[in-house]
Amino acid sequence: MEAGIVFPQPPESEAKRASEGNGGNGSVDSDTLSRNPFAGLVSRLRASWLSGKTRPMEYRVAQLEALGRFLDDKKQQIMDATASDLGKAPFETELSEILVCKNELYETLNNLSCWMKDEKVDRILAMQLDSAFIRKDPYGVVLIIAPWNYPIQLFLVPLIGAIAAGNCVIVKPSEVSKKTERLVSEALPSYLDKDCFAVVTGGVQETTRLLENKFDYIFFTGSPPVGRIVMTAAAKHLTPVTLELGGKNPCYVSDTCDVTNVARRVAWGRFFNAGQTCIAPDYLLCTLEMQEKLLPALQKAINDFYGPNPRESPDFGRIVSDKQFQRVQRLLGSGRVAIGGETDEAERYIAPTVLVDVQPSDPVMQEEIFGPILPIIIIANVDEAIDFINSRERPLVVYAFSSDDKVVNQVLERTSSGGFCGNDTLMHVTLPSLPFGGIGNSGLGTHHGKFSFDTFSHPRGCLKRGMGRESLNAPRYPPYTQRKFGLIQATLKVTRKSDCTLL
């Protein structure tokens, strides 16, 4: 798709006036405007934010409600666009792109007035007559860079949080999911305030130029290598970031479990959206005995879900692009195909596939698969599984299946990951009350529900004191004496509470 800015930039004179009126914050000179095609747009949004337009709760609510109308009005177009881009079934689109977004939206609208309130804090003796609180301030102008695999959800959910927190926002949808990018760029602007929100389209070159500008917060969803590039660009301006990345999510299956249920839940999580899900179980860890039980159960689950020929199923998706198809297809050479393995490059179809005899050094274990392939790694016991998990980069999520809750808790307590889900896959991400995010190589920061609001809010520590009662301040002024320090210590110090409890 041809790159461009959806909302027209103001003329240079307008951008100059905006920068002159903002006290130098994010100012843009004419030389910068001529060199960077997005400088004027960023300057215009900054001027809108500095005017205070986005701060009132009524304004935020109105923009959030407009997002709800966008989802309602464009529901069919969203389903058509994701079907074209990814072969997504209507059920999967409605669940992962529309319902999840609406849940986030309503969670935010239901609680926004509470989230926005100043948070009172404890005060020491010297400040009992003062007002101390945390103000939830918006950051300013925010950039959201979204990926192609869930092209509506993964820009809209952070956008909900950014609007709720009172920011101006530039959204950059992925150019890989072409039809959805076109829908967002053409339709979304008519629902939001053009003075405060914009959509920018384009590829790597346009995104690189966009990142040259000073933003007050950047929210990126994508791969770790690109995440490092985004973080490097942000560091130039000391801009804080959230990085929602990915990785290889392990799924441990113990010998004590309901094999049929495990197979169905794992198959659904792995093959949903044709495996193009950052929180999909990336590989299984189990004993050889459990593998022999799981293989027929997984085969049955795949047949139950997609029929004897998944290629003909309306519920099984396609790989998003030729480049991604070729990358995923190469991973089929690892180990041995036990289930599936069929491909059709013309359709970008790769069958739901299970690989066995896989070695940790095989190519399929060196990168996030992001396709409908499930390798099985044989381990001797839970301790070996945990050691294997901990020997690799920390993943976005760890999955553990066992009928024994002690085993599930053991995996939870002895591993580290962005999230955790016991005895199921994917479902933890549907709870707006849980934070979603990575750790280490799988990301930085969290969002969803109130965590989104907090991500896009600066917690501003505030103390307001009266002008009078100056005699109470006298002990802190020179000339210093030991007696003065004793008075200051008595009123400022925090003491440790006793561990004893009176019954």
Contact 28, 40 (CB under 8 A): yes
Instruction: Give the integer Cα–Cα distance in Å for 364 and 377.
Output: 11
**Which of 26, 406, 41, 11 shows the shortest CA–CA distance to 202?**
41
H-state helical runs in 338-466 = 382-390, 405-414, 450-455
Please count the other Cβ atoms lying within 10 Å of the Cβ belonging to residue 177.
Answer: 25
Please state whether the peptide bond connecting residue 395 to the residue before it is cis, i.e. omega within 30 degrees of 0: no
Task: Round to the nearest angstrom and report the end-to-end CA distance of the chain.
Answer: 71
State whether residue 192 is helix, strand or coil. coil
Biggest distance spanned by C-alpha atoms of the chain: 89
196 an active-site residue? no
Instruction: Give the integer Cα–Cα distance in Å for 141 and 195.
Output: 12
278 an active-site residue? yes
**Which residues, other chains included, contact 184 with Cβ-Cβ below 8 Å and sequence gap of 6+?**
151, 152, 155, 171, 173, 199
State whether residue 333 is helix, strand or coil. helix
Instruction: Give the integer Cα–Cα distance in Å for 108 and 156.
Output: 13
Instruction: Give the integer Cα–Cα distance in Å for 335 and 12.
Output: 59
Angle at 492 between CA 491 and CA 494, to 5 degrees: 110
Catalytic-role residue among 107, 181, 244, 368: 244
Contact 463, 131 (CB under 8 A): yes
- For 180: left if phi > 0, alpha if psi spans -120 to 50, otherwise beta; the answer is alpha
Which helix (H) or strand (E) segment holds residue 492: the answer is helix 482-492
- For 467: left if phi > 0, alpha if psi spans -120 to 50, otherwise beta; the answer is alpha
Q: How far is CA 218 from the centre of its chain?
A: 12
Q: CA-CA distances (angstroms) from residue 250 to 8, 105, 247, 253, 387?
A: 46, 31, 9, 10, 12
State whether residue 376 is helix, strand or coil. strand
Contact 309, 404 (CB under 8 A): no
**Which of 4, 5, 25, 30 shows the shortest CA–CA distance to 15?**
30
Query: Which residues are paired to 169 by β-bridges?
Result: 142, 197
Catalytic-role residue among 251, 278, 286, 421: 278
How would you classify the pairing of strands 131-138 and 457-464?
antiparallel
> Catalytic positions, please?
244, 278
